[in-house]
Chains A and B, each alone.
Chain A
Amino acid sequence: MENLTLLYLTMNLVPWQEFHRKHVLEIVGDYPLITISRKPMDLPGVQLRQSDEQSHDKIYKLMLQGAKLATTDYIAMVEDDMLYSKDHFELRPPLDTFGYNWNRWALFTFGEPTYSFKKRYCNGCSILPRLLMIEALEERFAKWPTIPHYLNGELGYEKVERNLGVTVRKSMVMYSKTPVVQIHHTYGTPGYGKRNLEPNDTVDLEARKTRKKMGMMRAYEIPKWGRSEELVKHFI
């Protein structure tokens, strides 16, 4: 029995749903799978439904729901705009520490197809000790029944937890041997940005979806996933 559960969250809005469903079938192996989707999906494991609401607050509430349902020591978040390598799921932080895989390339569906890298945590790259995850999320929601978008963020991310006024829990950077890829697109949970807009910030929500900047370290071809202009074509 594997000691990690894949917790797959999807709003079924991304255009490559069938491609990604097949990808999930390839990576799931013997891991238990919990899918929380808006529509029924042809996947093994436990299936739960979610509402039409798109918010970061809801994502973390679904994570808590999934973590409580799972029975394994660890949870790996699986997001519908990410492609995973099998060895990503072999990473294990200590049980008192949230782990984040930094071997992650972002690939934008707008602009020149380019992989880019930033030194930062990403929820879809997380390997989370389940009991610690429950403890941390319950603490967050006891203090904040609804967490404002501008305060929300990854578990163990010091700045986020300080701003939320909750216990700062340990986190660590890990690297899988093979990279994972995260597609940046316009179907995601709206990020309204900072609480107070800069003078030149647009208030056009559609424009805000494509204003995200690439990381400075960039590539056109990477191991396993090949060329950026080819991979991005799957996101249709």
Chain B
Amino acid sequence: MKDLTAIFLTQNEVPEKWAEFHREVLLDSLQGAPLIIMSRKPMDWGGNALNLIQDKPKSLSNIYYQILRAAKIATTEYIAIVEDDSLYPAEHFLQRPPKDKIGYNINHWSLFTWGTPTYSWRNRLGNYTMLSSRKLVIEALEERFKKYPNGTPDRITGELGRPMVERNMGMTHREVEEFQTTVSIINFNHSNASDDLQLRQRKSFGPIQAFDIPYWGKAKDLVLKWI
């Protein structure tokens, strides 16, 4: 895979054993694709992984700022966002949406670290599933930070291509391409997240729910990896 770079965002706040498990799954799925790690603490993964330290305080705006930094360093046609609380199947990184659209994988399940272990889905785009043309992402994020040089306000910050987000921020609307893999992305909802609802464990499950799914298995078993 030579035309895609994974941009791995981490605050290094996830549990240690989970981080080991996550690394193992991620490297297996990336199959040697270039990786840029944007972390708080140094992370020497060797190989073709490049590590940069996040240089702004934790915020929603910072997420997108670090993506922009990494996207400018990358040289591939495509970038894929990797978050430290999400598990990706290999086929996700093989997707290539049109270069004039922001791509999102809509086959994603949320798995909460609290409550009855349940996979749940809601009909919304998640930054952790974005895989897009690098140039398009740079263009969109440079427009954001040109207008908000001190960072975008958290209350209106959100995914690229989401009409409401771009309208509220006064940005050019960029089209979204939804794609699907046969194996899902799993996004853990936990109390170390940036989202206030997750911090307070007040977030509710999405309306579509399952207990056992292909490849990842039973929710009650997978959630045990979050330790």
Q: Confirm or deny: B107 has a beta carbon within 8 angstroms of a beta carbon on chain A.
A: yes
Task: Give the shortest distance, in Å, between A65 (CB) and chain B (any CB).
Answer: 33
Beyond known contacts A218-B214, A227-B212: 7 more, CB 8 A cutoff: A119-B106, A179-B209, A219-B119, A219-B210, A221-B210, A221-B212, A221-B218
Q: How many A-B residue pairs have CB under 8 A?
A: 53
B214 x A114 contact (CB < 8 A): yes
Give 1 or 0 for each of A198-236: 1 = CB within 8 Å of chain B CB.
000000000000000000111111110001000000000
Give 1 or 0 for each of A167-195: 1 = CB within 8 Å of chain B CB.
00000010101010000000000000000
Give 1 or 0 for each of B80-116: 1 = CB within 8 Å of chain A CB.
0000000000000000000000000011010000000
Q: Confirm or deny: A17 has a beta carbon within 8 angstroms of a beta carbon on chain B.
A: no
B42-50, B126-134, B150-158, B176-184 - interface stretch = B176-184
Whole-angstrom CA separation of A217 from B110 in the bound complex: 12
B207 x A102 contact (CB < 8 A): yes
Q: Confirm or deny: B21 has a beta carbon within 8 angstroms of a beta carbon on chain A.
A: no
Whole-angstrom CA separation of A149 from B209 in the bound complex: 33
Q: Confirm or deny: B145 has a beta carbon within 8 angstroms of a beta carbon on chain A.
A: no
Q: Which A positions have Cβ atoms within 8 angstroms of B?
A: 102-103, 114-115, 117, 119, 173, 175, 177, 179, 216-223, 227
Classify the secondary structure of B's interface with A: loop
Q: Which residue of B lies closest to A119 (CB)?
A: B123
B residues less than 8 Å from A102 (CB atoms)? 123, 207-208
Whole-angstrom CA separation of A114 from B107 in the bound complex: 16
A216 x B213 contact (CB < 8 A): no
Whole-angstrom CA separation of A115 from B180 in the bound complex: 16
Task: Give the shortest distance, in Å, between A211 (CB) and chain B (any CB).
Answer: 17
Q: Confirm or deny: B226 has a beta carbon within 8 angstroms of a beta carbon on chain A.
A: no
Q: A103-B207, A119-B123, A175-B207 are in contact. Are A220 and B181 (CB under 8 A)?
A: no
Q: Confirm or deny: B121 has a beta carbon within 8 angstroms of a beta carbon on chain A.
A: yes
B residues less than 8 Å from A217 (CB atoms)? 107, 109, 121, 180, 184, 208
Whole-angstrom CA separation of A177 from B118 in the bound complex: 14
B212 x A220 contact (CB < 8 A): yes
A residues less than 8 Å from B148 (CB atoms)? none
A residues less than 8 Å from B119 (CB atoms)? 219
B214 x A222 contact (CB < 8 A): no
B208 x A218 contact (CB < 8 A): no
A residues less than 8 Å from B207 (CB atoms)? 102-103, 175, 177
Scoring B121, B213, B218 by chain A CB atoms within 10 A of each residue's CB, the highest score goes to: B213
Whole-angstrom CA separation of A123 from B109 in the bound complex: 26
Q: A102-B207, A175-B207 are in contact. Are A219 and B181 (CB under 8 A)?
A: no
B residues less than 8 Å from A218 (CB atoms)? 182, 184, 213-214
Of B107, B209, B213, which one neighbours A220 at CB under 8 angstroms?
Answer: B213
Q: Which residue of A lies closest to B180 (CB)?
A: A216
Of A119, A173, A216, which one neighbours B181 at CB under 8 angstroms?
Answer: A216
Q: Which residue of A lies closest to B123 (CB)?
A: A119
B residues less than 8 Å from A179 (CB atoms)? 208-209
Task: Give the shortest distance, in Å, between A216 (CB) and chain B (any CB).
Answer: 4
B residues less than 8 Å from A219 (CB atoms)? 119, 210-214
- Listed from nearest, the 3 A-B pairs whose CB atoms lie closest are A219-B210, A175-B207, A221-B212
A223 x B211 contact (CB < 8 A): yes
Task: Give the shortest distance, in Å, between B117 (CB) and chain A (any CB).
Answer: 11
A222 x B209 contact (CB < 8 A): yes
Task: Give the shortest distance, in Å, between A170 (CB) and chain B (any CB).
Answer: 18
